Amino acid sequence: MGPSANTAICPENMKVGKFLNNHAHSCGRYGLRIFHNMIPRKFPCKPVWKDWSEEKKDDPYWKNPAITATFEGLVSWKNNRNGAIAKRVGDVRFVNFKVADNVLAGIEFAETAWYGDDTTQINGALIIGKTSNTEAKLDKGSPRGIITPRSEGFLV
Amino acid sequence: MTLDKPLDYKHFAKRETFGSDFIDMRAEVGLLTRNIVFRGDPETSFTNQYGATLFLHSTGDDSLQCRLSYIELTDVGQAFKLGRYAIHFHMIGAVHKSYAKGLATHQGFNRAFTIHGTHYLTLEDNVAFGIKGHTVFIEDAVETKNNIKNNLIMMTMRSWSLLNTDQTPACFWITNPYNNFINNHCGGSDRYAYWYDL
């Protein structure tokens, strides 16, 4: 906790800025790592509240709706674990990622949270196991394309 | 660019095509020298891990302007001392008119670009190579709307003389997600490239 810490700021649940066309390669662990929680929503410091009533069944989260976070165009290759990993996320989408030669997995999501079906997504990814740039150690492991979360509501 | 001797290590230079799509894995090339140099003592800095620092602080929004462009910073940062970074924006608030553009920062002992309690900063077209600890460091999780574009960060190394997180460093350590990261490149970080540590 730094000197700016106060209860009015909840970074885990804040709107996510632009993440566009970034490149990552040859890193010891992950190209992109989203750690602990990322559950962006309209009122970050208030809980997610699901309205179970019949008349709100099309928009059950209307009291504190999600703000979609789009990570777009990451190019991530030759990392010692994954091209990208997310620990526990809500309405977070990886769009048009290109990943190759990663030792553990191309893209991994560990867990989804809160915002219903199909809000956590991977769209339009190019996932390559091996290229001509690969190293011998990739043959010793058994890399995966996508490691999917252990919870529901995930869409590829 | 012409090379006058063979390279020691593999530098892959190819765009591989898969069906109608491709992935570009060409080696990064960055220029580390500039005509104007800001540096620590060349004789003792490396031995003592103790170099030059720039510290920017003023009270309140837009109370200072920092306009750095196309200079070289080397032998910078002071290990074991929190706050002594190559460039440290400290608790200023909004800095709409400030920027660091086209800087070449190399051999840094204690992080490189630290953004602390600062908003609307522009970090653009910078090259950083061989920095110990998080290289672009958003410190306190209140920082928002900083624009971080077109930077090349290479070989971020572990530091045992900072906080625990700097033992698993990232090129970009992001504690508040409401900042913009566009077209940055990170290569050869000891642990992570973009780490949203929320």
Q: Which residues on chain B are in Cβ contact (under 8 Å) with A19?
A: 180-182, 194
B55 CB neighbour count, 10 Å cutoff: 12
Does residue A27 fall inside a structural domain?
Answer: yes
* Residues A38, B183: C-beta atoms closer than 8 Å: no
Instruction: Say whether pLDDT at A1 is over 60.
Output: no
Does residue A32 fall inside a structural domain?
Answer: yes
pLDDT in tens, B116-144: 999 999 999 999 999 999 999 999 999 99
- Spell out a b/e string for B102-139, using b for 16 or more CB atoms within 10 Å of the CB, else e: bbbbbbbbbbbbbbbbbbbbbbbbbbbbbbbbbbbbbb
pLDDT in tens, A25-65: 999 999 999 998 999 999 999 999 999 999 998 889 999 99
Distances in whole angstroms, Cα of residue A58 to Cα of each of A51, A53, A54, A61, A62: 10, 10, 9, 9, 9
The per-residue pLDDT for A134 is 87
Ramachandran region of residue A39, left (φ > 0), alpha (ψ -120 to 50) or beta? beta
Confidence of residue A137 (pLDDT cuts 50, 70, 90): confident
Task: With beta carbons less than 8 A apart as the criterion, state whether B150 and B184 touch.
Answer: yes
Does residue A2 fall inside a structural domain?
Answer: no
Closest Cα to residue B100, out of B34, B167, B5, B164?
A: B34
ipTM tops the 0.90 cut: yes
Tell me, yes or no, if B141 comes closer than 8 A to chain A by beta carbon: yes
Q: Please give the single-letter amino acid code of residue A143.
A: P
pLDDT in tens, B9-62: 888 888 999 999 999 999 899 999 999 999 999 999 999 999 999 999 998 999
Tokens (6 digits) for B160: 């045992």
> Whole-prediction pTM value?
0.94
**What SS3 state is found at B113?**
strand
Domains in chain A: how many in total?
1
* Residues B177, A16: C-beta atoms closer than 8 Å: yes
Q: Which domain range does residue A68 map to?
A: 12-155
Q: Which residues on chain A are in Cβ contact (under 8 Å) with B185?
A: 22-24
Does residue A5 fall inside a structural domain?
Answer: no
> What CA–CA distance (Å, rounded) separates B169 from B166?
5
H/E stretch holding A140 reads: helix A137-140
> What CA–CA distance (Å, rounded) separates A76 from B23?
9
